[in-house]
């Protein structure tokens, strides 16, 4: 009985440590994404995505495939200008190798002078090369209906 309890506690501690490490790794990939985007670093951006990645942006444009996501991301940064930031509010693991990260996405001091506040959702997949972004969904909050 005591042995079972000890093994159970050890398992919980191990899984918690694993999840905490994975949570940090997922957050780090999103930080790298923001940094690479701000630096217009195509090579660094490309390395962060899976080959079949896609991105649905707040305008409704749907970028499919790593090359299109990177190309569209860099073009969008040039067009709108501004300083981008993502504050990850939660990371949830659908499996040990699939994570969903939700956060606040802000573009400050855009070419128009405005600040745009949105939500973003990243789906990340653990690969043999580490965590990679498989999908991004950006959402511009709408005013309440009625």
pLDDT at 15: 42
Number of domains in the chain: 1
Predicted TM-score (pTM) of this structure? 0.83
Give a yes or no: residue 145 inside a domain: no
Give a yes or no: residue 144 inside a domain: no
- The sign of the torsion formed by the CA atoms of 29, 35, 40, 43 equals negative
Give a yes or no: residue 20 inside a domain: yes
Give a yes or no: residue 146 inside a domain: no
Given a cut of 90, whether residue 80 has pLDDT beyond it is: no
Give a yes or no: residue 44 inside a domain: yes
Which CATH number is 42's domain given? 3.10.450.50
Q: How far apart are CA 52 and CA 69, in angstroms?
A: 10
pLDDT at 138: 96
Q: Which domain holds residue 9?
A: 2-139
Q: What is the DSSP string of 70-139?
A: HHHHHHHHHHH-SEEEEEEEEEEEEETTEEEEEEEEEEES-TTS--EEEEEEEEEEEETTEEEEEEEEEE
- pLDDT band at 2, cuts 50/70/90? low
Share of the chain above pLDDT 90, in %: 71
Given a cut of 90, whether residue 74 has pLDDT beyond it is: yes
- For the chain, give the mean pLDDT: 88
β-strand 98-108 against 83-95: which pairing, if any?
antiparallel
Higher pLDDT, 11 or 81: 81
pLDDT at 48: 98
């Amino acid at each position: 009985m005591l042995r079972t309890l000890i093994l159970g506690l050890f398992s919980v501690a191990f899984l918690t440590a694993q999840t905490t490490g994975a949570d940090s790794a997922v957050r780090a990939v999103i930080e790298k994404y923001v940094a690479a985007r701000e630096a217009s670093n195509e090579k660094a951006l490309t390395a962060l995505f899976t080959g079949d990645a896609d991105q649905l942006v707040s305008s409704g444009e749907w970028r499919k495939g790593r090359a299109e996501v990177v190309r569209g991301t860099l073009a969008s940064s040039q067009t709108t200008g501004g300083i981008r930031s993502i504050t990850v509010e939660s990371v949830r693991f659908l499996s040990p190798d699939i994570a969903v990260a939700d956060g606040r996405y802000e573009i400050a001091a855009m070419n128009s002078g405005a600040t745009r506040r949105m939500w973003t959702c990243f789906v990340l997949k653990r690969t043999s090369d580490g965590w990679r972004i498989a999908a991004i969904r950006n959402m511009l909050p709408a005013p309440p209906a009625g």
